[in-house]
Structures are given as C-alpha cells and as structure tokens.
Amino acid sequence: MSTESTNKTITSDSSQPVKFNTFAGVFTPSLLTILGVIMFLRFNTVVGYAGLWNTLIILGIAKLITLLTALSLSSIATNMQVKGGGAYYLISRSLGAEFGGVIAVFFYIAQSVAVTLYVIGFTEAVCAAFPGLAIHSRDIATITNVAVFLCVFIGAGWTIRIQYGILAILGISLLSFAIGALLGFSPEILTANLSPAWTAKFTFFTAFALFFPAVTGIMTGVNMSGDLTNPSRSIPRGTIASIAVSGLIYTILLFLLAASIPRAMLLSDSFVMRERALWGPLIYAGVFAATLSSALGSMMGAPRILQAFARDNIFRPFKIFSYGSGPSNEPRRATILTFLIAQTGIFAGDLNTVAPVITLFFLMTYGTVNLACFYEMFSHNPSFRPTFRLNHWTFALVGAVGCFAVMLLTNFFWTIIAIGCATLFYLAMARAHVRVSWGDVDSGVAYQRARNALLRLERGSYHPKNWRPSILALSGGAYNRTHLTAYATWLTRKSGVVSLAQIIRGNLDDLLERQREAEALLRKFIFEQRFAAFPVVVVDENIHRAVQGLLQSHGLGQLRPNTLLLGWSRDLTKTESFIGLLTLTKRMGRSLVVVANKRHPDAPHTNVPTGDITVWWTDDRNGHLMLLLAFLLRQNRYWRKRNLRIIRTLPLKGDTEGVTTAMRTMLVNARIEADLTVVATDNTLSTLQNLLNPTAVLFAGFEPPDETANTTTLAALEPIANLPCDVLFVHSAGDASVEA
C-alpha cells in the first residue's frame, strides 16, 4: 500500500484497549502498507525500461534507505513514549519544534497525496477490469475518493479488523501470478530483459522515483506504539522484518516479471500481471484490496499528523485543525482538508505524475528522521538511551545524506523548490520564537559544540587578533537600566558574549529563593527583548566582593569576562563605592566601559539617539579599544548609517601634520573607515564641544584611580560626562588592538 498508515485502537467488550504483539501490531500493517499499487501496476514498467539488473539495483538502494531509516526510527522510538503524530512527534521531540513543524506539513502532504495515488490505482484496476468505464475514469476516482472520505469521516476503525483478510487476498493474488509466471518461464525472455532500454524521458532516476513509493510504509509501527504490548521490542523487530520480507517478495516478483514477459508487453500493458497469473481476476482482487485499504489508511493517518501538529500550537494558523469530534476525538476538520488535497491530485495527474511527488515527500521525511537520530547520537546526549542498540551515528548520517542525494538526482528542480519551501516555513516558525514544553537535540548539539569549542580555545594561545568583547554588565534587575543592556549587546554585535549581572545585597541563606526568582525574571526579560545575553544573579552583602567574584569565576575558560560595563554614578553618597569598582576592575586587569546616558535609563533599546559615533583619541592604549568598540557599535542595524569620526586633540604646539599621517596609516592598517580630525588647542574641552555637533555617542578614554579614596578622576571626568550626548568612558586593559 506504500504509505504510512495510522491505526486506531480496538477495544474489547470491557472497554479496555486491546494490545497487539509484534506480528499483529507492526509486521502485518507495515507489510500491508508496503505491498501495494505500484507493485501491481508499475513494476512491469520499471523492469521494461530499467532491465532486471538495474531494477534490482533500484530495489537495493530503496531498501537500503528504508533499512537505515528503520534503524534510526527504532532508535528514536525506543528512546521515548511515542504519542500521536508519528514522524512529526519523533522529529519535533528530537530536532525541535521548527524541524518537526516542517516535517509535519510535508509528511501530511505526502499522506494526503498518497490517497490520490491509491484512488487512481484503484480506478486503473476498475477500468482494466471493465474497459467500457475507461471514459469515466475521473468520475470513478472522484466517487472512490468521496467514499473513502465518508468512511473515515464517520469513523473507520473497523478497517483494522480486516487486515488479515487483506493480507490473505494479497498473498493469494501474488501466488496466482507466481505460478503463472513460472509456467511461462523463458531463458530467452530473461536474457533479453536483463539490460535496460532507457529513453530521453525515462532514465534510471525516473525509474527510481516511480518505484520508491513501493517501499514506503515503515512508520506504521511507530503510529501503533500506544497499542503495542511491548513497543521497544515490537517496533524494531516488526519494522525490519517487514522490510526484509517485502524485499524478498519484490526480488522474486521482479525476477518472474523479467523471466516470463517480453519487454514489448512489459511496456505496453500496465496490467501484465493479470495476463500471466494462473487466474487473472485474483490480480484485480489484490489491487482492489491493496488500494482501498491503503487509501483508507492514508485518509486516517494524514489528518492525525496535522491534528498532532496543530495541538502543539507551534504555528497558530493551523490551530483550527487541532479540534477533535466525538468520543474518539476524530480530526474531522483535517480530514476534510485531506479529502480536498486528494481530490486536487485526482484532477491534476495520473499515477506516473503522482508517484514522483510522493517519493520526494517521503525521502524528505526519511532523511530528517535519520538526521534526528544522527544528531542525538553525535551530540552524546545523556538522555538518548534507546533500548534498540543496533545502530551507529554513521548509519544515520549515510541514511540522511542518501535520502537528500537521491532527491536531488531524482528531480533537481522540485527538490530545490521543496527544500526552499521547507526553509521558508522553518524560518517563519523560528521567527515566532516558539517555546515548547519538551527538550530537543538542538540544545544537546549546541552544548556539545560549545564544549568542544571551549576546550579548543583553552588549548590555544591568546593573540590580540582573536580579542572579542566578553562583557559583564552591571545592569541590575530585569527591565531596569535597559540602556546598559542595550549598549552591552550593541558593543558585542554577534562577536562577543554579554552577561547581565544583578547583585542582591544581603545574606544568601535568607535570599536564595529571591535569587532564583530574580534570575528567572532576568532570563524572561532577555527572551522578550531578544537580547543576545546570559543572566547571572548573585547575593552578597558586599558589592565589591560580589563583582570581584564574578570577574574571577563567572564564565568558562577563555569566556570569562574581559570587560566590566556599568553606569556613571551621579549619586555623591555612592562615590566611594563607585570609585572602588573602577579601582578593583583595573587591579584585576579587566577593561572598563562606563556609560553616562542622557536618555531615560529605561528607554527602549530601539530608541537610538541621532548623530555621529565619535571617538575622542587621547592615547593609543585606550584609543585602540575605543575604535574597536565604535566599529562594532556601527555594525548594528540601528547604528549602521551613522558616521564614524575620530577627534584627536593635541597641545597647542603639537605636530598635527605628523599625527594626522600616523593616524591615517593606523586606520588603513586597521581596515576601518572613519573621518579624522586632528586639532591643536589650549582649551581641550571647549574645542571638543565645538567639534561634537552632531554626536550621538562619544567614546572617551580614562584612567581609573589606583586608590578608592582618590576622587580626582571623577572630578576631571564630570564635565565630559555632562556633554549633551551619551558618553562611554573606556579604560583598556591593553589586550585589544585594531591593527592585529
């Protein structure tokens, strides 16, 4: 039947769910789903064009892809309790909501279009049995689609009860063909059918695309997980057994087709199996059973995938499909949409057109399942402990690469379109910043990559070329002094790390719960404002001791803070404490950025002052860091169109020409474009004020005092802090250079 079907729970008289064993719950429905319309109606076409050898290669590749996917599927499925949604549930709980959402949509479409495939297959069989109805083929397909829809809309759980009957009919029809083909066996025909007969329109990958839907159906066991006695045992065994048995059946069937039917007949009649069967009507019975049961299975399975996705409320436009009807919670809204998609497919194409489309959708789904398993294994996630151990990350990687490679080779154009649509849908959900209640492998992969990167950084030696801002911002509690948070994130501009620190004064034993609440609130603030930052909240009775501890131990390895950012203090009662922080930071060999803000301290970070970015260059040590920070500030979209200027003031008899030449050479070596003004003056502050207009932010170098009691520095900086623009006082620890 060649698609993934979802089975409903059968209940006993005591209203208790009936649990299935491996044979009844996984093997039989999976085998029924694999053996289907392509086998009856298109194997002859594939053998006719591809020849037996190439067809067996196609079978081998297709089975290898499904086997590798089955290994990945078994690993993931036995690592969690699988609920409704099949592949969507597995992928969303592994790769995350965005990837899961993409696959939910693509897998749902594949299931919906699969209804078209089976309805058209059924129609072809009816028209072959009753040639006079051929002119009404589209009407027959529509009536069949409506009938299938009504059965599922009302409730088609009864279809599970007849799976053994369907399997028996399929077995008898295949046996009828096998006996007839053996009676017509001819070595000459076999020899003639070994080699291919390719045409411009029918190549190896065209044949593969037509053939591949015949091997899909391996996810039925996952869909049945809630109805299995022992899912961790039944899913791997039943799935792999169905792949092996169907592979054996297909090999025998392909051999018999090539050995008993001339190529001309293979290519001219889509129902050659009927001609060679011991009793032809049995082939019709097999096709009818395969197509109708598959159509019902797909019509049941597809809406449940969409409903599971909609219930997670990941993408709100799909919320309408989350509601169920009746005691069984039937997804009737999604069923109506499935019917409409299937009917559109009936109007749009035939079996040869629909099959390649389904191939692309299923390959994308299988590839993503393999990718999810690869990430789970490769990230060494401690929570990934599947009971199925017959797998390795290399198998999953080969399966993922194989799926996407075959997609490209089968139909490059539509593969690019499909991947493009998937990417757009992924980005749409990513922009929505979906928050879900389950973990995903993305966090594990990020952790593993961070771990490896930190170890690599630790082994490397420091060079000024590798300097990046790692800022510890004393921004206080959430939603307070957002200007400090804004400047911290602007100055790192995707190149550094920002930690927003809140220090709570008091005893840790008394304030432990408050510390946790404050950190949670700070994390929420960062998420809502979309700041690229990390929260840190500490409790200490002494603010200097708290900052000293943060500068020493916050972070890991090379990612410890190299710069402290704090606000300018205008509170005279806190002058000694403020100077103490400056002195402490200098003594610990860290750089300093002190923000004297002219706007409201809680103004939105998108509210950027108008004017240029100006660097007041007074010495080279601080100048290099100021210019680097100004460059990073200008990379932000809010500041991108602002002019970057450097003002260099000299004593009245200074060598302005020589300094100008040296500064321009420095800018060339630094690869930074900036306007340069070098002026000699005996009234530096007055000259600076005249040159600032218009300036949004001024970078000014300073030297923190060596002693806490020394207030001379603050007195000297006060007039600069009062300039009519934001002022960022910068002290460099000497580890940054723009010429590196």
User: Per-residue pLDDT tens for 18-75?
Assistant: 567 888 778 888 888 788 778 888 899 999 999 999 999 999 999 999 999 999 988 8
| Edge-first strand listing for the sheet containing 497-505 | 534-540, 497-505, 470-473, 563-567, 591-596, 726-731, 695-701, 612-617, 644-650, 675-680
Measured in degrees and rounded to the nearest 5, phi and psi for residue 301 equal -75, -45
Give the integer Cα–Cα distance in Å for 698 and 720.
9
**Beta-sheet pairing, 497-505 with 470-473:** parallel
C-beta separation of 88 from 98 below 8 A: no
Model confidence at 437, pLDDT cuts 50, 70, 90, reads: low
> Which residue has better confidence, 132 or 326?
132
User: Bridge-partner residues for 612, per DSSP?
Assistant: 695
User: Per-residue pLDDT tens for 153-209?
Assistant: 776 455 556 667 888 888 999 999 999 999 999 999 999 999 999 998 899 988 998
In 327-454 the beta strands, taken as DSSP E runs, fall at none
Quote the DSSP letter at residue 23.
Answer: I
Torsion of CA 115, 121, 123, 124, to 10 degrees: 160
Give the integer Cα–Cα distance in Å for 358 and 342.
12
Structure token digits, residue 296: 């019902």
Res 496 pLDDT > 80 = yes
Among 95-104, 132-141, 645-654, 718-727, the range scoring the smallest mean pLDDT is 95-104
User: Per-residue pLDDT tens for 613-623?
Assistant: 999 998 888 99
Give Rg (Cα) of the chain: 35
Give pLDDT, residue 698.
Answer: 94
User: Per-residue pLDDT tens for 520-571?
Assistant: 999 988 888 888 888 999 998 888 898 888 888 887 777 788 999 998 887 7
Give pLDDT, residue 608.
Answer: 80
Structure token digits, residue 84: 């409704």
Peptide bond before 694: cis, by omega within 30 degrees of 0? yes
SS3 29: helix
Res 6 pLDDT > 50 = no
Give pLDDT, residue 544.
Answer: 87
Q: Which CATH architecture has domain 22-431?
A: Up-down Bundle (1.20)
Half-sphere exposure of 123 (CA within 13 A, CB side): 24
Please tell me the CATH code under which domain 461-731 is placed.
3.40.50.12370
Residue corresponding to tokens 């799926």: 403
Q: What are the domain boundaries of the chain?
A: 22-431, 461-731
Count the Cβ atoms, other than its own, within 10 Å of residue 9: 14
The DSSP string of 600-647 is -TT--TT-PPSSEEEEEE--HHHHHHHHHHHHHHHTSTTTTTSPEEEE
Give pLDDT, residue 8.
Answer: 40
Q: Across the chain, what does the average pLDDT equal?
A: 83
